[in-house]
C-alpha cells in the first residue's frame, strides 16, 4: 500500500509539469498514435506500414518520457508484408485494455486492432485484432474481422459489450463483435459521415457523462488534416456534431506560419488526476513546405466546456519545444533492440549479430526494388544529426554493394556504399529518386580493410563523409533534404537511417557477399 501511494505521488508531481511536456513526445516516423492508461501506466502504439516488426509499443509514467518496450506484431504469422510499399502495410492501430471481471482469477487483456492494407489473404476485410496479458507480449495470432474500412477501433462498454468502429465507404460504421473469435454479432450500421471533410477516418468512441463521444479525422493526412467530434446518448446515434468543429486543426489563419502542420488523427486519455489529454499526429516542416521525418506524435491538454465539448490546448495552435539531444551507440554485443526495423518481412539468414558486429549478407534485391532487401535501420528523429558506422566488406563481386542509406521509400533514398566495379573497389554515393539513379560520387577506395562512413544533416542537406581512421572525415557529397521529403517522393512514412548489403550479379550465390558493421552511432545536434 505504501509503495502504491509513493508511486501515485511521483506521478502526481510529474504530471503537474504537464504544461512543460516536450513536443513531439515521439519524434520521427511515429504516426497515428493510440493511447490507454492502466493504473499509473500509460501505453501507446503507432502505425508501422511496410516495416517489420510492426506496431511499436511505448510505456510512460508521466506522459512525457516514453520508452519503447517492444513491438506488437513480431512474427510473420501475425504480419505478412509481401511487396508492401510505404503506402501499404499496417495502418492506424488502436490500443485498449479490458480489465478482468470482478472476482476473476484471470488477468486483464490488452487489445490492439488495426488494418493490414495491400495483403489479399483476407479479401473480405483487412482488419484484425490481437491480444496479450502484458504490453510487452507475446501477442496472440490475428483474429480477423468482417467489417471493412480502415482504422478500426474498439469500445468495451460497461454493459459488457464490445463495439467496433471503422470507415467502410467513407462512413463511420459500428457493429458489435466477440473479441475472442472476431464474430460479428450485429449488422454494421452507419453512424456518422463527419462534417464534410474528405476521408472521414480514425474513429474512436468514448463514454463520458452519459454521452458516447465519437472522435474522427477528416481532410486527409496533409495540410487540411483535422479532428472533429460528435456525440449521442445512444451508441447507435443519432450523433450531434460539436458546434466548434474542428476541435483541432492547423489549417487556419492562426497556425498558417507554424512549422507544425497536418495535425489530426488523435486519441484521448484521462490521467491519474482526472485531467484529459489528446495524443495526435503532426509533421514539422523544414526548408519551406517540406517534411522528411514523417508524421510524429504530439500531445496537448484537453478541457471540457460547460456544455460538454472538448477544447484542445485552450483553442491555441500547437507549439514544439526543443528536447534534449540524444546520443545512442549500438555496438552489436546483444540482439537488436525493438527500435530496429526491416523493410517487409526479413530473411533471417541474411542477418547475424556475432562477435560484437552486425553481419549482413547480400540480398539479390536492391533498395530500389520492393522485395525485402537486406536492410536494417532506425527512425530519423531529429532534423539535425550525425550517424556513423564502421564497415568491413567481404567478397564483393562486380555489381555488389554494402554501406549506409537514408531511406524514405524504395523510389526515394540515397546510399553511400562500397562497390565492386570490374574488380576495383569503389566508394560511391547514389541518389535514387522516382526512377532516376544518378551516381553522385564514384572514386577509388583507399588501401585499407576498414572504412568509416558518416551521414549528417543540418536540416537542409544530407551530407556524406568517409574516413580511413575513424578520426579525420572527408566530405563526399551533399543532397537537399527536400529530395527525400514526403512532398517529393510520397508515401506515409518517414526517413530511416540504415545499413545494407546487396548482391548485384545475375547468378545469386547464397552467403556472399557480406559486410561486417562494428557499430552504429546516432547523435543529434
Catalytic positions, written as ranges: 32, 201
CB 412 within 8 A of CB 86: no
Residue matched to cell numbers 483474429: 143
Question: Over the range 132-144, which residues count as b (16 or more CB within 10 Å of their CB) and which as e?
Answer: beebbbebbebbb
Cell of 481: 533534404
Nearest Cα to Cα of residue 442 among 467, 456, 421: 421
- Tell me the C-alpha distance between 485 and 222, whole Å: 13
- Tell me the C-alpha distance between 258 and 278, whole Å: 19
Cell of 15: 504530471
Side-chain-side CA neighbours of residue 336 (13 Å)? 20
Strand intervals (E) in 422-485? 424-433, 439-444, 451-458, 461-467, 474-480
Nearest Cα to Cα of residue 391 among 414, 364, 415, 368: 415
Looking only at the bridges linking them, the beta strands covering 310-312 and 94-98 are unpaired
CA distances from 437 to 79, 89, 444, 465, 488 (A): 31, 26, 20, 20, 15
Residue matched to cell numbers 506522459: 63
Amino acid at each position: 500500500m505504501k509503495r502504491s501511494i509513493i508511486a501515485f505521488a511521483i506521478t502526481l508531481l510529474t504530471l503537474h509539469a504537464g504544461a512543460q511536456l516536450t513536443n513531439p513526445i515521439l519524434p520521427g516516423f511515429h504516426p497515428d498514435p493510440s493511447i490507454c492508461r492502466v493504473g499509473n501506466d500509460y501505453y501507446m502504439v503507432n502505425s508501422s506500414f511496410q516495416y517489420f516488426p510492426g506496431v511499436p509499443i511505448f510505456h510512460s509514467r508521466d506522459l512525457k518520457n516514453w520508452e519503447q518496450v517492444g513491438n506488437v506484431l513480431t512474427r510473420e504469422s501475425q504480419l505478412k508484408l509481401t511487396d508492401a510499399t510505404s503506402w501499404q502495410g499496417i495502418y492506424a492501430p488502436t490500443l485498449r485494455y479490458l480489465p478482468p471481471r470482478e472476482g476473476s482469477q484471470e488477468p486483464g487483456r490488452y487489445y490492439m486492432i488495426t488494418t493490414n492494407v495491400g495483403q489479399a489473404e483476407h479479401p473480405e476485410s483487412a482488419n484484425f485484432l490481437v491480444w496479450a496479458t502484458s504490453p510487452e507480449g507475446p501477442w496472440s495470432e490475428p483474429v480477423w474481422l468482417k467489417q471493412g474500412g480502415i482504422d478500426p477501433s474498439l469500445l468495451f462498454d460497461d454493459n459488457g459489450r464490445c463495439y467496433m468502429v471503422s470507415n467502410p465507404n467513407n462512413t463511420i460504421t459500428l457493429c458489435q463483435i466477440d473479441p475472442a473469435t472476431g464474430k460479428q454479432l450485429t449488422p454494421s450500421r452507419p453512424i456518422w459521415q463527419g462534417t464534410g471533410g474528405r476521408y472521414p477516418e480514425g474513429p474512436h468512441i468514448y463514454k463520458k457523462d452519459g454521452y458516447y463521444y465519437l472522435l474522427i479525422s477528416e481532410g486527409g493526412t496533409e495540410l487540411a488534416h483535422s479532428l472533429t467530434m460528435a456525440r449521442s446518448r445512444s451508441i447507435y446515434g443519432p450523433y450531434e456534431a460539436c458546434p466548434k468543429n474542428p476541435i483541432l486543426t492547423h489549417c487556419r489563419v492562426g497556425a498558417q506560419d507554424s512549422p507544425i502542420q497536418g495535425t489530426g488523427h488523435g486519441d484521448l486519455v484521462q490521467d491519474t488526476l482526472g485531467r484529459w489529454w489528446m495524443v495526435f499526429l503532426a509533421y514539422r516542416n523544414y526548408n519551406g513546405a517540406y517534411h522528411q521525418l514523417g508524421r510524429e506524435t504530439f500531445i496537448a491538454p484537453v478541457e471540457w466546456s460547460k456544455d460538454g465539448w472538448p477544447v484542445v490546448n485552450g483553442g491555441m495552435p500547437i507549439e514544439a519545444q526543443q528536447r534534449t539531444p540524444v546520443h545512442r551507440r549500438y555496438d552489436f554485443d546483444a540482439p537488436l533492440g525493438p527500435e530496429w526495423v526491416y523493410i517487409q518481412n526479413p530473411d533471417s539468414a541474411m542477418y547475424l549479430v556475432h562477435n560484437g558486429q552486425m553481419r549482413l549478407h547480400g540480398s539479390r534485391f536492391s533498395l530500389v526494388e520492393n522485395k525485402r532487401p537486406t536492410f536494417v535501420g532506425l527512425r530519423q528523429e531529429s532534423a539535425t544529426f550525425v550517424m556513423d558506422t564502421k564497415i568491413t566488406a567481404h567478397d564483393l563481386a562486380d555489381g555488389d554493394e554494402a554501406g549506409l542509406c537514408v531511406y524514405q521509400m524504395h523510389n526515394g533514398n540515397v546510399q553511400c556504399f562500397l562497390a565492386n566495379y570490374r574488380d576495383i573497389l569503389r566508394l560511391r554515393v547514389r541518389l535514387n529518386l522516382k526512377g532516376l539513379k544518378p551516381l553522385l560520387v564514384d572514386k577509388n577506395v583507399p588501401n585499407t580493410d576498414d572504412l568509416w562512413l558518416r551521414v549528417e544533416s543540418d536540416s537542409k542537406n544530407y551530407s556524406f563523409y568517409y574516413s580511413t581512421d575513424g578520426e579525420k572525415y572527408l566530405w563526399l557529397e551533399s543532397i537537399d533534404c527536400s529530395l527525400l521529403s514526403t512532398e517529393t517522393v510520397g508515401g506515409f512514412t518517414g526517413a530511416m537511417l540504415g545499413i545494407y548489403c546487396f548482391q548485384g550479379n545475375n547468378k545469386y550465390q547464397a552467403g556472399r557477399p557480406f559486410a561486417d558493421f562494428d557499430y552504429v552511432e546516432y547523435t543529434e545536434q
